[in-house]
Amino acid sequence: MTNEADRRGPKAGASVKDLRQDRLKLALRENLKRRKSQARGRGDVADASSDDASASLDESAGSKPRQ
């Protein structure tokens, strides 16, 4: 009977290990998705701010200097 208990022990441990691995995989996948989304958001903000900066420089160059 002790042999049966010994055989069940590693299987239970392995399943806990597998569950942990699955949780880690999911967490890493979600983390990657979140980081990609943040990077896209930062890229959109950077593009918009650079467009605004270009527009303001163009407008100021076209106007007459103040006296």
pLDDT in tens, 40-62: 998 877 666 666 655 555 555 55
- Is residue 17 included in any domain, yes or no? yes
Cα distances from 4 to residues 10, 17, 20, 28, in angstroms, run: 11, 20, 25, 36
For residue 11, the enclosing domain spans 1-41
CA 48 and chain centroid, separation: 21
Percentage of the chain with pLDDT > 70?
Answer: 46
Mean pLDDT of all residues belonging to the chain = 75
For residue 22, tell me if it sits in a domain: yes
The answer to whether residue 64 sits within a structural domain is no
Alpha carbons 29 and 21: distance in angstroms, whole number: 12
Q: Is residue 27 part of a domain?
A: yes
Give a yes or no: residue 51 inside a domain: no
Q: Is residue 56 part of a domain?
A: no
pTM greater than 0.75 (yes/no):
no
